[in-house]
């Protein structure tokens, strides 16, 4: 029986050394599956080397850090877009003010200190109004586009946060399960050692 544990320990250490570099390149799900598949069987239990669990734990923490960085980047992007929306709204308010000023001046025939005929005056005023209307529509479309982008980014952020929370919960459950299994195996081993003496 002691020889069996010695063989298991040696085989596990060789597997751990060969797999440690490969595991860093694989996804976390694949690493979990690989850890379970390559672990040794003892009766109906799986025996997993503590070093492999630590490597997987470290890789999980690195992945969580990357996801947190991505979340921070998305939050920063949303903040920038919100700032852009505020800028566009202030420009829109300025354009509305200019439009009001132009409408006020429309009733006057004095344009830039020069008396003009109604036809020229109307042509100039309508040209300005058309340009402002075009700018207003253009800015409104940009505002809508920015607003839709912000909503999409918020939805994506919420989805990523939900996925991260689910992943954390799943990781904690797996870690607790593996810890319990490891403790059970230690208890059995100490009981077996106690029975021999």
State residue 12's pLDDT score.
Answer: 52
Q: If you average pLDDT over every residue of the chain, what do you get?
A: 80
pLDDT score for 167? 92
Helix pair angle (2-25, 50-106), 10° resolution: 20
| Token pair belonging to 50 | 């503590």
Asked if residue 158 has pLDDT above 70, the reply is yes
- 89-121: pLDDT as tens digits: 999 999 999 888 777 666 556 656 666 666 777
DSSP letter, residue 112? T
| Phi, psi of 45, deg, nearest 5 | -110, 160
Who wins on pLDDT, 39 or 197?
A: 39
At 108 the pLDDT is 57
- Calpha distance 45→182 (Å, rounded): 9
pTM summary value: 0.33
Most confidently predicted of 37-41, 57-61, 107-111, 133-137 = 133-137
Please report the pLDDT score of residue 115 as a whole number.
Answer: 63
pLDDT tens, position by position, 10-44: 445 444 544 444 444 458 788 878 878 887 877 88
The predicted pLDDT at position 107 comes to 54
């Amino acid at each position: 029986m002691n020889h069996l544990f010695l063989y298991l320990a040696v085989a596990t250490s060789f597997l751990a050394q060969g797999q440690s570099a490969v595991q860093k390149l694989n996804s976390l799900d694949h690493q979990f599956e690989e850890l379970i598949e390559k672990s040794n069987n003892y009766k109906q239990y799986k025996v997993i080397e503590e070093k492999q669990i630590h490597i997987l734990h470290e890789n999980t923490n690195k992945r969580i850090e990357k996801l947190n960085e991505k979340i921070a980047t998305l939050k920063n992007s949303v903040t920038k877009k919100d700032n852009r929306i505020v800028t566009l709204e202030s420009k829109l308010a300025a354009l509305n003010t200019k439009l009001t000023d132009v409408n006020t001046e429309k009733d006057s025939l004095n344009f830039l200190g020069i008396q003009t005929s109604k036809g020229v005056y109307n042509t100039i005023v309508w040209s300005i109004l058309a340009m402002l209307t075009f700018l207003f529509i253009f800015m409104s479309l940009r505002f809508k586009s920015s607003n839709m982008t912000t909503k999409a980014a918020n939805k994506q952020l919420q989805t990523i946060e939900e996925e991260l929370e689910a992943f954390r919960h799943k990781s904690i459950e797996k870690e607790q399960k593996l810890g319990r299994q490891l403790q059970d195996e230690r208890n059995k081993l100490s009981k077996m050692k106690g029975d021999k003496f």
